[in-house]
Structure 1
Amino acid sequence: MRKLTVFFLAVVFAISGLTGNLVAKQYVIATATTGGTYYPVGVALATLTSIKLRKKGITANAISSAGSGENVDMLKNKEVDFAILQGLFGAMAYNGKMKYEGKPMKDMRSVTMLWQNVEHFVILSKYKKTGTITDLKNFGKGFSIGKRGSGTEGSGRVILSAFGIEPDKDFRTEYLGYTPSAQAMMDNRIAGANIPAGPPVSAITQLFATLGADKITVLEFTDQQLEQVRKVFPIWTRYIIKAGVYPGQKQDIRTIAQPNFLAVRPDVPAEDVYLILKTIYDNLPFLHNIHKATMAMKLEKAIDGLVVPLHPGAVKFYKEKGLKIPANLIVD
Structure 2
Amino acid sequence: MRNVTNLALTGSLAAAMLIATTTAHADREGWPSNFTVGTASQGGTFYVYGSGWANLIADELGDISGAGEVTGGPTQNLALVHSGELAFGLTTMGPATDAVNGESPLAPGVPMDNVCALFPMYETPFSITALSNSGITSISDIPDGARIGFGPAASTSDVYFPAFLEELGVNFDRRNGGWNDLAGQLQDGLLDVIAFAAGIPIPAVSQLEVQTNVNIVEFTEEEQATIIENFPVSEFWIPASTYTTLEEDARAVSMWNFAISRCDLPEDFVYEVTRITMENNDKMRNIHRSAETSIPENIVHNTVLPFHPGAARWYQENGYEIDEALIK
Q: TM-score, normalised by structure 1?
A: 0.83
Partner in structure 2 of residue 65 of structure 1: 71
Partner in structure 2 of residue 145 of structure 1: 150
- Confirm or deny: 8 A CA contact 1:144 1:190 kept in the other structure: yes
How far has the Cα of 1:98 moved from its partner?
6.9
Distance, in Å, in 2 between the alignment partners of 1:26 and 1:98 is 28
Aligned length: 300
SS of 1:217 mapped into structure 2 = strand
Partner in structure 1 of residue 178 of structure 2: 177
How far has the Cα of 1:145 moved from its partner?
1.6
Kindly report which structure 2 residues correspond to 1:192-231, keeping only aligned pairs within 5 A, or say none: 192-212=193-213, 216-231=214-229
Partner in structure 1 of residue 28 of structure 2: none
How far has the Cα of 1:101 moved from its partner?
5.6
Distance, in Å, in 2 between the alignment partners of 1:224 and 1:140 is 23
Distance, in Å, in 2 between the alignment partners of 1:241 and 1:94 is 30
From 108, 125, 130, the counterpart of 1:123: 130
Partner in structure 2 of residue 52 of structure 1: 60
Distance, in Å, in 1 between the alignment partners of 2:75 and 2:84 is 14
Kindly report which structure 2 residues correspond to 1:1-332, keeping only aligned pairs within 5 A, or say none: 25-55=33-63, 58-97=64-103, 99=105, 102-128=109-135, 131-132=138-139, 134-136=140-142, 139-165=144-170, 170-212=171-213, 216-234=214-232, 236-330=233-327, 332=328
Deviations 1:102-121 (A, max 9, x none): 43222211011101111122
How far has the Cα of 1:34 moved from its partner?
1.2
Structure 2 CA distance for partners of 1:27 and 1:253, relative to 1, 3 Å: same
Pair member with larger Rg? 2
- Confirm or deny: 8 A CA contact 1:31 1:83 kept in the other structure: yes
- Confirm or deny: 8 A CA contact 2:130 2:136 kept in the other structure: no
- Confirm or deny: 8 A CA contact 2:119 2:294 kept in the other structure: no
Distance, in Å, in 2 between the alignment partners of 1:296 and 1:286 is 13
RMSD (CA atoms): 2.4
Q: Flag structure 2 segments of 5+ consecutive residues without an equivalent.
A: 1-23, 26-30
**Quick one: percent identity of the two aligned structures?**
25
Partner in structure 2 of residue 13 of structure 1: none
Partner in structure 1 of residue 15 of structure 2: none
Q: TM-score, normalised by structure 2?
A: 0.83
Distance, in Å, in 2 between the alignment partners of 1:35 and 1:328 is 37
SS of 1:263 mapped into structure 2 = strand
Q: Flag structure 1 segments of 5+ consecutive residues without an equivalent.
A: 1-20
Distance, in Å, in 2 between the alignment partners of 1:103 and 1:128 is 45
